[in-house]
Structures are given as C-alpha cells and as structure tokens.
Amino acid sequence: MKHSYFTLIVLILLGIFSSNAQQDPQYTQYMYNTQVVNPAYAGSREALSFGLLYRTQWVGFEGAPKTGTFTVNSPIGSLDNMGLGLSIVRDEIGPSIESNVNIDYSYSINTSDEGKVSFGLKAGLDILDVDFTKLNIADQGDVFENNIDNKLQPQIGAGVYYNTEKFYAGLSVPNFLTTKHFDKSTLEDIQNGGFNGSVTAAERLHYFLIAGYVFDVSENLKFKPATLVKAVSGSPLQWDVSANFLLYEKVTLGAAYRWSAAMSALVGFQATDEIFIGFGYDYQTTDIESYSDGSYEIMLRFDLFKKPERVLTPRFF
C-alpha cells in the first residue's frame, strides 16, 4: 500500500474515532498541564514555573497525532495577586500542523486564609498549515492545488480557578472565537465521493472542567484523585478520571480511565525540589488498539521559587 494512501486511510479513521470531530488535543497528564486550557492557573504555583509536554498518540499509525506544549508562568505585582504566562501548543496530524501561541493573565482574590479564586484571560494566535502533497488523492480538484500556509486566526479565551493547599477546581473555555481547523472528516467525504469543496471546519466551543484533591493517607503517602470533563457542542462528553499515589513526596504512581476510550498508567518523579518528571501510557479500549501500540506522554516541570517556604510546603498540582 502506498505511503500517502495509507496516511489517508489513517486520517479517515482518526476522523471517525475522534467523536464527531472533537478538535482540541487531549492529555493524560492534564493535572500537570492546566495552563494550556485554563489561563486562570497562571501564577498559582507561586513560582516561576516552566512546563514541557510531548504526546505521541496511536504509535504505529502513519499520520497519527503528535502534540507538544510549552508553558511558562509566574506571579506578578507587589501582592503576587496577578499571574502572567505564555502557552504554546503544536498539534500535528497527517498533513496538517496547527500551532497556538497565547498570553495568559490571571487576577486572584483571597477567599479565606487558605483559599483563593483566580480569573483568567487568554489571547493569542492560531496558525494552521496543511500540506496536501502528503495525500494520495485520486481526483485532484482546485482546492488541493494550493497548500494552506500560515493561516492566522485570533484566539480569546477565559477561565476561573479555585485552589487551596489540598483542593483545586477550574472551569474554562480556551477559545471563544470562530477559527478554522483542518477538517479531518472531509477526508472521509473524499473517499466516499461526497466532497463538497471545503477542507476546513469552524472551531466549536470547548468547555473544560477540572478538579482534584490531595488526601493525606499517612505521613509518607498521599492520594491524589483528579478528573477532567470536556464538553464540545455536537460531540459526546469526554470524561477522564485518575487516581495517583504520592510516596515520600518523591514518587507518583497512578492509573486513569478515559470514558469509552482508554486506560492509562502514570509515573512521576520529583527529582529535586524544583524538577518534576512525568510519564504516561494509554491503552486504547476501542478497536484502534489492534492497529497501534498505544499512546505515550512525557512531561517536565521546572520551578524557580521566590519564597523558600514554598519548598517546605510544596504544591502537588
């Protein structure tokens, strides 16, 4: 089977599997990657915090999704009641590469001695590239003669985030504006002869609800359950739930379940007071697992603390 034709078949499968064209990338280690979807998280760690994550999905599939994220944020202002950050996402699938570059801003209000609520804004650009030469298309129409190069669209999002030392919850919409994505479902129309001349689709609003808690089981053992709910108009609800155990504040072991999609294993290491490294593996619970070798994630978080007491009372999310 030709390389490009195989890519086309893969993308058709991706369009079918991604629950009616759900568009934003997904993460197994979402509890460590909150800023990407919720700008109100910026500054909440009370440190200059850097984050890197790389995800390769459905390994063994030609043209399968690959996602990379970079985040940096820090509290600002004389009272440290504001946060400022930068979040970058690069999502590659088949012939398309989509990148988001956003500035994240948050403003926090203390609600008690331990809790605070933060309100966040996200603003930036979405950049879309599609290389149609990677596809093996039988009937080359005018729409495939020119690639999509650096198509720019604005992004504006918002979120709210509440946290104490043990609990957190957030609700956000990363983008309110109508932008254009590469429409994976179009490839299925091409295959079935029903192509209508459109290769991009409008962005739908994505609503993210995230929550978690840290339970002290014993002096050297903490239980950290977390959940993420993603709602998209026209798509089934996506629900992730995870259970992590932290041993001696150094090693994290856990498992997760994505409803009707995947089971996951998570491992994390607090290498130093400043550096955390995390790994994730997804085993698909659908038929697609027969054709792939699972999905993998690796992430790195690096914190520079302004206050020494933050090292003595570390944050676990």
Domains defined for the chain, CATH in brackets: 3-312 (2.40.160.40)
- pLDDT for res 199: 52
- pLDDT for res 7: 47
| pTM across the whole model | 0.84
| SS3 readout for the chain | CCHHHHHHHHHHHHHHHCCCCCCCCCCCCHHHCHHHCCHHHCCCCCEEEEEEEEEECCCCCCCCCEEEEEEEEEEECCCCCEEEEEEEEEEEECCEEEEEEEEEEEEEEECCCCCEEEEEEEEEEEEEEECHHHCCCCCCCHHHCCCEEEEEEEEEEEEEEEECCCEEEEEEECCCCCCEEECCHHHHHHHHCCCCCCCEEECCCEEEEEEEECEEEECCEEEEEEEEEEEECCCCCEEEEEEEEEECCCEEEEEEEECCCEEEEEEEEECCCCEEEEEEEEEECCHHHHHCCCEEEEEEEEEEECCCHHHHCCCCC
Reported as a single tens digit per residue, the pLDDT across 116-129 is 999 999 999 999 99
Q: At 11, is the pLDDT very low, low, confident or very high (cuts 50, 70, 90)?
A: very low
Reported as a single tens digit per residue, the pLDDT across 251-268 is 999 999 999 889 999 999
Reported as a single tens digit per residue, the pLDDT across 34-77 is 999 999 999 999 999 999 999 999 998 878 899 999 999 999 98
Q: At 202, is the pLDDT very low, low, confident or very high (cuts 50, 70, 90)?
A: low
